Structure 1
Amino acid sequence: MSDPYAVLGVSRDAGPDEIKQAYRRLARKLHPDLNPGDKSGEERFKDVNNAYQLLGDPEKRKRFDAGEIDETGAERPRQQYYRDYAGSPQAERYASDAGYADFDDGEDPFADLLRQAAHARANRRGQNLHYRLPVTLADAIEGGTRRLTLPTGGTLDVAIPAGVVDGQVLRLRGKGAPGASEGGPGDALIEIEVLPDPRFQRDGDDIALELPVSLHEAVLGGRIRVPTPTGAVEMGVPAGSNSGTTLRLRGKGAPRRGGGRGDQLVRLKIVLPKAPDPELERFISGWEAGKVFDPRAEATP
Structure 2
Amino acid sequence: MRDPYSVLGVAKTATEAEIKKAFRTLAKKFHPDQNQDDPGAQRQFSEANQAYEIVGDKEKRAKFDRGEIDADGKPRYAGGFGAGGPGAGGFSGFQDFDKSSGFRSRTESGGNYSGGGFDDILNDILGGFGGARRGRGPAGPGAAGAGTRQRATGAPPKKGQNADIIAHVSLEEVVNAGKTAVKLPSGKTVNVTIPAGTTEGETIRLRGQGHPGSDGGSAGDAMVEVRLKKHPLFEVRGYDLLLDLPLALYEAVLGAKVRTPTLTGAVNLTIPAHSSSGKIMRLKGKGLPTKTGGHGDLLVKLQITLPPHEDSELHTLMTAWRELTPYKARGPEFD
In the superposition, the TM-score normalised over structure 2's length comes to: 0.51
Which of residues 240, 243, 264 is equivalent to 1:206? 240
The verdict on how the C-alpha distance between 1:125 and 1:270 changes in structure 2, with shifts beyond 3 A counting, is same
Report the secondary structure of 1:122's partner residue.
coil
Query: Which letter maps to 2:160?
Result: G
The verdict on how the C-alpha distance between 1:284 and 1:193 changes in structure 2, with shifts beyond 3 A counting, is same
Unaligned runs of 5+ in 1: 1-91, 103-117
Is the Cα–Cα contact under 8 Å of residues 124 and 183 in structure 1 kept in the other structure? yes
- 1:137 is matched with 171
Report the secondary structure of 1:193's partner residue.
strand
Report the Cα offset of residue 255 of structure 1: 1.7
Greater shift, 212-221 or 290-299, is seen at 290-299
Matches of 1:136 and 1:213 in 2, distance apart? Answer: 27
Matches of 2:181 and 2:289 in 1, distance apart? Answer: 23
- 2:257 is matched with 223
Which of residues 89, 100, 103 is equivalent to 2:102? 100
- 1:170 is matched with 204
- 1:255 is matched with 289
Q: Does 1:266 align with 2:311?
A: no
- 1:294 is matched with 328
Can you list the C-alpha shifts for 1:222-244, whole angstroms capped at 9, x where unaligned? Answer: 11111223432221111100011
- 1:22 is matched with none
Is the Cα–Cα contact under 8 Å of residues 253 and 264 in structure 1 kept in the other structure? yes
Matches of 1:93 and 1:158 in 2, distance apart? Answer: 47
Is the Cα–Cα contact under 8 Å of residues 122 and 180 in structure 1 kept in the other structure? no
Which of residues 158, 171, 179 is equivalent to 2:213? 179
Query: Which letter maps to 2:103?
Result: A
Is the Cα–Cα contact under 8 Å of residues 140 and 163 in structure 1 kept in the other structure? no
Is the Cα–Cα contact under 8 Å of residues 196 and 290 in structure 2 kept in the other structure? no
Can you list the C-alpha shifts for 1:89-123, whole angstroms capped at 9, x where unaligned? Answer: xxx974xxxx2136xxxxxxxxxxxxxxx869433
Greater shift, 263-272 or 185-194, is seen at 185-194
Query: Which letter maps to 1:169?
Result: T
The verdict on how the C-alpha distance between 1:142 and 1:200 changes in structure 2, with shifts beyond 3 A counting, is same
Matches of 1:196 and 1:177 in 2, distance apart? Answer: 30
Query: Which letter maps to 1:200?
Result: F
The verdict on how the C-alpha distance between 1:290 and 1:225 changes in structure 2, with shifts beyond 3 A counting, is farther
The verdict on how the C-alpha distance between 1:160 and 1:217 changes in structure 2, with shifts beyond 3 A counting, is same
Larger radius of gyration: 2
Matches of 2:281 and 2:324 in 1, distance apart? Answer: 26
Is the Cα–Cα contact under 8 Å of residues 143 and 161 in structure 1 kept in the other structure? no
Is the Cα–Cα contact under 8 Å of residues 143 and 164 in structure 1 kept in the other structure? no
Matches of 1:298 and 1:222 in 2, distance apart? Answer: 31
Greater shift, 146-155 or 204-213, is seen at 146-155
Report the Cα offset of residue 161 of structure 1: 2.4
Is the Cα–Cα contact under 8 Å of residues 184 and 209 in structure 2 kept in the other structure? no
- Identical positions, percent: 39
The CA RMSD over aligned residues, in Å, is 3.2
In the superposition, the TM-score normalised over structure 1's length comes to: 0.56
Report the Cα offset of residue 165 of structure 1: 1.4
Is the Cα–Cα contact under 8 Å of residues 172 and 187 in structure 1 kept in the other structure? yes
Unaligned runs of 5+ in 2: 1-97, 105-151
Greater shift, 269-278 or 177-186, is seen at 177-186
